[in-house]
Amino acid sequence: MSFVNLLLFPLRCFIHKDFHDVVDRMSLLNKLLFMMVHLVDKLNLWHRLPVFLGLLYLAARRHLHQEYNLINVGVGRKPIDVTSNRAVGKYNDPFNEGGGSEFPFFGRNMMPVDQHEKLKNPDPMVVATKLLARRKFIDTGKQFNMIAASWIQFMIHDWIDHLEDTQQIELRAPEEVASECPLKSFKFFKTKQTPTGLCDIQTGHLNIRTPQWDGSAIYGNNAEVSKKVRTFKDGKLKLSENGLLEQDENGKIISGDVRNNWAGLLSLQALFVQEHNLVCDTLKKEYPELKDEDLYRHAKLVTSAVIAKIHTIDWTVELLNTDTLLAGMRANWSILSDTSYFYFVK
């Protein structure tokens, strides 16, 4: 045991045993940051701190997570020099070719542990019924509505979807809560396990979407879908004359991702196709020399950034409605933008 660990040993009794190993590996500065974060968590204080202190807490927490809590799965590292995004999302991270691309492995926050016999203890339907069932209707007022629900589905179609196995799993409600469950049983496809080809983490789970903010819900996750949604004229995407998404000869919606569609999701997809095409018109007016491919790539970057900004400074701050979160989200775009200064000094 090092001298620093020996000196801080009395504090271990205040730290959950699951954290002992990782804390032992931390530098002295990171140990002190961890103690600060852990204390604030224990006291449930972070959202009640003054904004500036709350931001320091969030920055320390993010630093610790990035240093000790992010584990790559099936990833090698070598820098690559590229200047533009690809349809499949590769080279988003110059040190990780597959980062942000279609079919990367999901990363982990901890090393794999065998949980096969523990997954249904307690049963997930019991947990959902006891903790999530709404006994009495409580209106969200002006904070949230159904558009917010369609927005997060729009984002999920941009980011993640597990590669599924061909085997189905059935869950049945236990007797103690069966009378309270609208669905007594339901089936779904098991997430497929894929070999990583590495020794430390031998199997992982693949993401069939591009997990970066690239607007793939409208542009698609690969070159094949990207071609289907494009007009190949002035950089634009396909859109019907009435402003809605087009359909192919089989009546299937033409869009980047068409799974689990409903009116809310389709409306957002159509809206941002219109946004993309409007950006193309604006760029062509200002830069008439730009060709179809250039217009498409630039409009895709602009539209993807608009989507990301809406999610961070509009949607997220309504979900987590605190001054600290508002300042933190705005700081992602510019520390001096809008009225951010007010939230830092409040």
Angle between helices 323-331 and 51-68 (to 10 degrees): 60
Q: Is 278 within a domain?
A: yes
C-alpha distance across the termini of the chain, in Å = 44
Q: Is 279 within a domain?
A: yes
Q: Is 190 within a domain?
A: no
Q: Is 125 within a domain?
A: no
Domain extent at residue 336: 216-345
Q: Is 2 within a domain?
A: no
Q: What angle do CA 303, 305, 310 make, to 5 degrees?
A: 95
Four-residue CA torsion sign, 98, 100, 105, 110: positive
What residue ranges of the chain have pLDDT lower than 70? Answer: 1-10, 75-102, 140, 334-346
Q: Is 184 exposed, middle or buried (0-12, 13-18, 19+ CB in 10 A)?
A: exposed
Model pLDDT, residue 338: 53
Buried b (16+ CB within 10 A) or exposed e, 268-303: bbbebbebbbebbeebbeeeeebebeebbebbbebb
Domain final residue pick, 33, 48, 68: 68
Q: Is 89 within a domain?
A: no
CA–CA separation, 97 and 91 (whole Å): 5
- 282-317 pLDDT tens trace: 999 999 999 999 999 999 999 999 999 999 988 998
The amino acid that residue 98 corresponds to is G
Model pLDDT, residue 50: 92
Instruction: Identify which of 233, 178, 214, 196 has the alpha carbon closest to the alpha carbon of residue 92.
Output: 214
Model pLDDT, residue 69: 84
Model pLDDT, residue 341: 47
CB atoms within 10 A of CB 257: 23
Domain final residue pick, 29, 52, 68: 68
- 85-143 pLDDT tens trace: 555 556 566 556 666 666 788 888 878 877 777 777 888 888 888 777 777 877 767 77
The amino acid that residue 18 corresponds to is D
Ramachandran area for residue 220 (φ above 0: left; ψ -120 to 50: alpha; else beta): left
Catalytic residue numbers, as ranges? 157
Model pLDDT, residue 76: 54
Query: Both tokens of residue 173?
Result: 């409600």
Q: Is 151 within a domain?
A: no
Domains in the chain: how many in total? 2
Q: Is 220 within a domain?
A: yes
